[in-house]
Structure formats: C-alpha cells, structure tokens
Amino acid sequence: MKRKTSSFGKAFLSKKRFVEIAIVLCSLFLVAIPAIAAEHTAQEVSASEVTTASEDDFVLEIYGNANEDDTIDMRDLTYVKLIFFGKKTETELADAKYDGKINPLDFIQIKLIIVGKEKEITFVDAAKRTVTVKKPIERIVVLNTDFADAICVLGERNKVVGVSEGLLKHERYFPEFSKCSNAGGWYTPDIEAILMCNPDTVCVYGKWPKPELLEDKLPETINVIRLDFYRWATLEEEMMKLGYLLGKVENAKEYINWHRRYVDEVVERVSKIPEEDKPTFYIDAGGSTGERKVYKTEIPGGINIAADLEGEYPKVEVEWILEKNPDVIQGVSYKGGYETDDNSKMKAHYEEIIRLPGFKNISAVKNNRVHIISNSFTYGPDCTAAFVTRVKWLNPELFKDMDPQAIHQEYIDRFRGIDFNVYKQGVFVYPPFAS
C-alpha cells in the first residue's frame, strides 16, 4: 500500500464557522450519473458541461475525480480525456492511477470506479495523506465508535472481524460486534491481536493511533484507512469516500440525502431570523465555580458569545459569562448515551451550571433555558438529531413541528437496524424531552 503526504491542498471548510458550514451544506451534493453510463461513450457528455468545481463546492478527494466535484461519473471520464488531448487544464485528481501521468490507464481506472470494479483506489485521508487501498475490502478491524457507526450505516457490519476494547462495551448500540475479537485500545492497539484477526483493512481516526503504533508495525499488505466521521465539516465527504472504498456508494448517497433533508430545512428557517433577534448562548464543557471551559462552535439561529475567543478550547471566568448574560446555555456531557438509562450524571452537570455563583440572575437560568446534551450522538453519523435538538433549543417556536427524537429513531431504524427505542432507552439530553 502506497502512503505519502498529499500535495492536494484544499482543506475544505476547516476554518469556516459552523453557520457557514451549515449553509454550504445545502449545495454539497449534486445528482450523480448512474454507473451504467460507464458502458457508453464519453461523447455523450458535452465538453461544455464538464467543468471543474467552483472554489466553494465540495471536492471528493479521490483520484479519478478529474473535474473535482462531489462524485465520480462520466463527466470525469470525459474531463480526463480532454486533459489528455490538451483541451482542458490538468487537475491533480485526474491522475486516477496515481502514477504521475495522464494516459489511457486513467480512462480505464475511472470506468472501473464508476462500475465498482476497480482493484485499488487512491484517496486523501483525514490525515491529509494520499493512500492507495487494495480492493475488495472483506475483513475489517475498526478501532473507534464513529468509524464503526459509518460502516454500519453503509451496511457492511458483517465484514467487521475485530474491534477495539471500547467498542465491545457498547453492547446496546453495537450488538453485532459482541462476538468480534478484541483488537486493543483505540489509541494503543494490540498489533498481535489485530494480526490474529487476519484483516485486509484497519479503520482508525485521522490522528489516532499514531502511525508508529499502527502502520509501522503492520505489513504493507494491510490497508490502513484514516477517516474521522466526528467532524461536521467533513462528515459527508468521508461518508462518500467510505462508500467508494467499500463499494457502497448508493448507500452513502442515501444517508447523505437523508441527513441533508433536515439540515436544509434548518438552514432555510434560520436564514429568515434577523441578526438582532438571534438568542445568545454559550456551550459549557465543565470546570470550576470560578472558571468554565467553553466551546466556540456556532449553531445556526444563535450567537455564541465565545465564538471570537482565542484558543481552540478557551476557558473563561464565570464573571465574564455573567456580564454576557446569555439567553441559552448548552452543556456538553461525556456521560449518558446509548449504554445507560441513568441520567443522574447529566443531571449533576445541569445542577452544577445553574448553581454557579450569580447564575440565578442569568437569563438562561431564569427562563429555564439550560440544557445538557450527551456527546455520544453530538458527533458522528448519528449527529443529525443532535443538530436539530441544539437548533431547536435556541428557537423552540420556529422548530416546534420538528421532533428530534423522531429523527433520532428514524436514523436508528433506517440506517442502524438495531432494536433500540430512543424514547425509552438511553440518555441523550437533560432535562429530558417533554413526553
């Protein structure tokens, strides 16, 4: 497997704010040409229709995506041929075979990708490395819940033969993995245990575990795929990448279209709120009675009072919060989730906030607008319901007809296929949703 640092330099959306991300999400995914079109000649797509994506469009960082849009289809085949004959400017992703030149081998590779018959595929992973993965992928070891969730969404759970020890503890949410081999920690994997699983692929986060703890100890015959699935800005692109890697592109599109339907509706509604009418809020990540850790994440329909602070995870004095007097407080808890029905720890976070010195005079506390959300579904493929939840907390009247629990259950039933009732099981918010 070839691994090297990519020169492809579009870190799309990495510096944009959450509101901008949500707005951009409306236009990310275009309608793809069916795969069967690969059997026809490239002349069926007019050269005038084949253009590179604009600067603001989503770019699927897979080699073969010659016109740099959000999918690989006949337009890419036409575009790479036009490059070959000197009619179009070469793009980096046009080199489908990833051999440093544009030639008929790239035509063949793109055709194979379109029909799902390629023997290998090269893409840019979450660590911004260019990686060539051998296909088909049949035996997977996955070392974190976010990646595992994505694999399940695409309908490939049966290919998982080994999981991290943490995943084995998620008996409710990942019952399908209860009999899988223990491959060690998500941060410190057990190489011997991984090898005993005889995998062809190991799936991990972009940063963790470090390469010296994984790739450097594995034979090059084993693919290592680094994707995150917990970053809002890259979730859809990574789902598409995994769709191509696992041969489940249509499943990936189904999920993205479902997710997009709710995001689009949210964006459409909040776009009509005048700036001066948006409630202020802050996101509480815990701390002491004198200092709180806050998140700078922006949520459509509100104004985060911490958005312009320095540092990735700033800490602020409680006095500063009192001066800002936010309308809403949203606490993020590392407790709760799918594996417990006990809300006492999330309740403790709630009570800690409302009892902070002086907080009884804050608008959010006086108006009962303090909410706690579990990070267990705030990030990852199941984040859609959490997104709607957090937006609805800011503008409850505007979203009174949208039921986050119903969206959450729809995700479980449609994409996870497990026996789990979000109305009766798990702890995802505090105070609980009104019944």
d(C-alpha 247, C-alpha 137), whole Å: 9
Residue 181's CB: how many other CB atoms inside 10 A? Answer: 19
Q: How far apart are the first and last CA of the chain?
A: 53
What's the pLDDT at 37?
29
Of 31, 233, 251, which Cα lies nearest the Cα of 150? 251
Query: Can you tell me whether residue 298 is helix, strand or coil?
Result: coil
What's the pLDDT at 415?
98
Domains of the chain: 31-124 (no CATH), 133-272 (3.40.50.1980), 273-430 (3.40.50.1980)
Instruction: Look up residue 26 and give its DSSP letter.
Output: G
Which residue type, as a one-letter code, is found at position 24? V
What's the pLDDT at 312?
84
Place of tokens 């540092």: 311
Integer angstrom CA distances of residue 366 from 33, 277, 278, 328, 363: 54, 19, 18, 10, 5
Beta sheet of 201-204, edge-to-edge order: 181-182, 160-163, 140-142, 201-204, 223-226
d(C-alpha 285, C-alpha 281), whole Å: 13
What's the pLDDT at 434?
83
Of 212, 203, 214, 216, which Cα lies nearest the Cα of 177? 203
pLDDT per residue, tens digit, the chain (435 aa), is 444 333 323 332 333 333 333 333 332 222 222 222 232 323 334 333 444 443 345 799 999 999 999 999 999 999 999 999 999 999 999 999 999 999 999 999 999 999 999 999 999 999 999 999 999 999 999 999 999 999 999 999 999 999 999 999 999 999 999 899 999 999 999 999 999 999 999 999 999 999 999 999 999 999 999 999 999 999 999 999 999 999 999 999 999 999 999 999 999 999 999 999 999 999 999 999 999 999 999 999 999 999 999 998 899 999 999 999 999 999 999 999 999 999 999 999 999 999 999 999 999 999 999 999 999 999 999 999 999 999 999 999 999 999 999 999 999 999 999 999 999 999 999 999 986
- CA torsion through residues 412, 413, 417, 418, sign: positive
Query: pTM here?
Result: 0.87
Query: Can you tell me whether residue 246 is helix, strand or coil?
Result: helix
What's the pLDDT at 279?
98
Place of tokens 């200092």: 291
Half-sphere CA count of 238, side-chain side, radius 13 A: 28
Give the pairing type, strands 223-226 and 370-374.
unpaired
CB 381 within 8 A of CB 235: yes
d(C-alpha 163, C-alpha 147), whole Å: 11
Question: Which residues, including other chains, have CB under 8 Å from residue 24's CB and lie 6 or more apart?
Answer: 13, 16, 56, 58
Backbone angles phi, psi at 307, to 5 degrees: -60, -35
Question: Which residues, including other chains, have CB under 8 Å from residue 428's CB and lie 6 or more apart?
Answer: 336, 337, 373, 374, 376, 377, 386, 389, 408, 422
DSSP 262-286: HHHHHHHHHTTS-GGGSPEEEEEEE
What's the pLDDT at 133?
98
What's the pLDDT at 264?
95
Of 284, 328, 334, which Cα lies nearest the Cα of 303? 328
d(C-alpha 299, C-alpha 19), whole Å: 6
Give the pairing type, strands 303-304 and 280-287.
parallel
CB 381 within 8 A of CB 153: yes
Question: Which residues, including other chains, have CB under 8 Å from residue 144's CB and lie 6 or more apart?
Answer: 164, 166, 167, 186, 204, 205, 208
